[in-house]
């Protein structure tokens, strides 16, 4: 007797889906016909063993039914209304072989890969990783489609048909990526660096090690879900933190620029109560009392989202708001995000309910319990000591002068050039961006100027010392200058990769000089990105002259050091 599977997609008609399942169950039982069910979204997924032992799958209703799992089975499609109207006729057609035949083999044997790339700022690494995957796919003869999740959202979004037809899904991201649409597909996850460094090797590894994605959806991971690939595990807490930072940045940028514009229009007292009703006061209210208030909740909420998917957002944001109210700032927000994320994930994996009550978990049980645990932990355990630590850190940073400012500038600036967008670079950047929410804006100046210096210094070196570079490198120098002006440190990566032992120390030296001069000259920056393009904005940068001096000095140091260290190349 044929073994039958049924996948029912209810969409907005969840009640109809349940009724269809019960009708099929009753009719199959009356025929002694073995049948196993999966209701999407949210139901218990069919096991791999069940799929392997089945002959036919009945696809009922609409929505994402993760059909790619059943390429070896005979597939039949029916509407929910057909099942509810005459379930026996449906079973007769399926069991008599009148249903759809298995999907026809593809006319070509080319491997099909769909991919997503994403980095915390959504700029350079996102697109460099995409280019690495596309170039590797072309060289290996694979069909590759890449969706980039950048700073302005997804570009070239993958379609449902493309995902269904793909052999594997590849995620190269330094932030959390929603996997709900990849249920039932083989998936491999890694970092953007792997795609940039060795695209061909990554594709080979992904095809060999991709694992079946749970069919319950990303929002409801189960304890028996396949283990994530080792490459993704290694990212650990860093990846979760970077996800929070990537969602936090738009609030920092918008709030900082609006506050700067408020000061530009209304002077230093633009937000004083006496100026209520003016445009400057309104801009200040939007920036300081709306956008900036949401910085820490966004950071905490999306750290928790990276850990626990959707169930983590609400408790994370509530914990972040408590951190703000308790004066625990971004440090408290980070703590709240991790507490909320791991709490929500633990509860989601260990609370088991009858299938008819599963719908209560995401809307009632998980938000309530995870928010309760997170809130109590913030109020009674974390908030006070973290607030004291942040107050001490803030006081020290605001009081920096002389040797302390010099040392901090050297460290922050140098960190930006060590790995140009890697973990060390991002650690310095994330720390400086988060400090903006506490009113500490000097470290951001050292970080941005230190990050602009490597590509600008390399670009200058290609002009001052042309014999140290090949013809293609000299041509790439112009592009590096543009990227450096826009604060995209990654523009220097190709030059560092070609000669790391000489180029990286030269870039670290220049960036450290830029950062040190910036802090000793009292340069501050209210926005976390923009490069040279933020300098003309009134009050976005304090001491513009000092900023320019720091940037020029750092660029010269890098260029001269590169010229002295690199050997003459064959022209």
- What is the C-alpha separation between 377 and 362, in angstroms, rounded? 21
Q: Are 100 and 59 in contact (CB under 8 A)?
A: no
Annotation says 119 is catalytic? yes
- Other beta carbons within 10 angstroms of residue 198's beta carbon come to 14
Q: Is 100 helix (H, G, I), strand (E, B) or coil?
A: coil
**Which token pair is 123?**
């700029």
Name the helix (H) or strand (E) containing 548.
helix 544-565
Q: Are 162 and 114 in contact (CB under 8 A)?
A: yes
Q: Are 80 and 29 in contact (CB under 8 A)?
A: no
Q: Are 206 and 170 in contact (CB under 8 A)?
A: yes
Q: Is 526 helix (H, G, I), strand (E, B) or coil?
A: coil
DSSP secondary structure letter of residue 270: T
> What ranges in 153-294 are assigned the alpha helix state H?
160-165, 192-197, 199-209, 230-233, 236-266, 279-286
The catalytic residue among 119, 370, 503, 527 is 119
- What is the C-alpha separation between 177 and 145, in angstroms, rounded? 16
- What is the C-alpha separation between 63 and 43, in angstroms, rounded? 14
Which residue, chain included where needed, has tokens 């976005």? 540
176 Cα distance to chain centroid: 4
Q: Is 99 helix (H, G, I), strand (E, B) or coil?
A: coil
164 Cα distance to chain centroid: 23
The residues that are catalytic are: 119
């Amino acid at each position: 007797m044929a073994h039958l599977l049924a996948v029912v997609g209810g969409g907005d008609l969840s009640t109809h889906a349940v009724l269809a399942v019960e009708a099929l169950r009753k009719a199959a039982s009356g025929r002694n016909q073995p049948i196993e069910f999966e209701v999407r979204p949210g139901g218990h997924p069919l096991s791999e063993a069940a799929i392997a032992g089945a002959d036919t799958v009945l696809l009922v209703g609409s929505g994402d039914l993760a059909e790619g799992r059943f390429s070896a089975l005979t597939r039949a499609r029916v509407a929910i209304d057909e099942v509810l109207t005459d379930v026996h006729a449906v079973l007769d057609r399926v069991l008599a072989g009148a249903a759809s035949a298995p999907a026809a083999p593809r006319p070509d044997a080319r491997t099909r890969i769909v991919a997503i790339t994403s980095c915390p700022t959504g700029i350079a690494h996102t697109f460099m990783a995409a280019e690495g995957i596309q170039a590797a796919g072309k060289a290996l003869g694979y069909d590759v489609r890449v969706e980039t999740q950048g700073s302005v959202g997804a570009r070239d979004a993958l379609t449902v048909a493309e995902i269904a037809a793909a052999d594997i899904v590849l995620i190269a991201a330094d932030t959390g990526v929603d996997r709900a649409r990849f249920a039932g597909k083989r998936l491999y996850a890694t970092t953007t660096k792997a795609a940039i460094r060795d695209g061909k090797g990554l594709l080979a590894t992904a095809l060999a090690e991709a694992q079946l994605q749970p069919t319950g959806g990303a929002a409801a991971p189960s304890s028996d879900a396949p283990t994530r690939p080792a490459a993704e595990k290694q990212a650990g807490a860093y990846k979760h933190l970077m996800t929070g930072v990537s969602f936090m940045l738009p609030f920092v940028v918008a709030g900082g620029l609006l506050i700067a514009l408020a000061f530009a229009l209304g002077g230093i007292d633009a937000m004083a109560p006496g100026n209520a009703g003016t445009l400057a006061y309104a801009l200040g209210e939007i920036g300081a009392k709306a956008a900036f208030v949401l910085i820490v909740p966004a950071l905490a909420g999306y750290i928790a989202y990276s850990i626990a998917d959707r169930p983590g957002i609400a408790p994370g944001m509530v914990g972040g708001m408590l951190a703000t109210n308790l004066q625990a700032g971004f440090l408290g927000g980070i703590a709240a995000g991790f507490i909320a994320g791991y709490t929500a994930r633990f509860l989601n994996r260990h609370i088991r309910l009858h299938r008819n009550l599963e719908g209560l978990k995401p809307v009632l049980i998980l938000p309530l319990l995870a928010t309760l645990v997170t809130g109590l932990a913030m109020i009674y355990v974390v908030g006070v000591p973290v607030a004291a630590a942040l107050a001490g850190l803030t006081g020290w940073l605001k009081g920096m002068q002389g040797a302390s400012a010099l040392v901090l500038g050297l460290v922050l600036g140098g960190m930006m050039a060590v790995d140009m967008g890697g973990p060390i670079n991002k650690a310095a950047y994330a720390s400086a961006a988060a400090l903006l929410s506490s009113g500490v804006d000097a470290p951001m100046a050292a970080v941005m100027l230190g990050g602009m210096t490597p590509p600008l210094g390399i670009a200058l070196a290609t002009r001052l010392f042309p014999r140290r570079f090949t013809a293609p490198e000299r041509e790439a120098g112009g592009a590096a200058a543009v990227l450096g002006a826009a604060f995209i440190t990654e523009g220097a990566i190709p030059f560092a990769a070609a000669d790391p032992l000489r180029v990286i120390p030269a870039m670290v030296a220049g960036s450290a000089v830029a950062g040190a001069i910036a802090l000793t000259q009292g340069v501050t920056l209210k926005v976390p990105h923009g490069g040279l393009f933020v300098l003309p904005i009134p009050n976005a940068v304090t001491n513009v002259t000092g900023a320019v001096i720091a940037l020029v000095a750092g660029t010269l140091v890098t260029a001269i050091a590169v010229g002295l260290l690199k050997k003459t190349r064959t022209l």
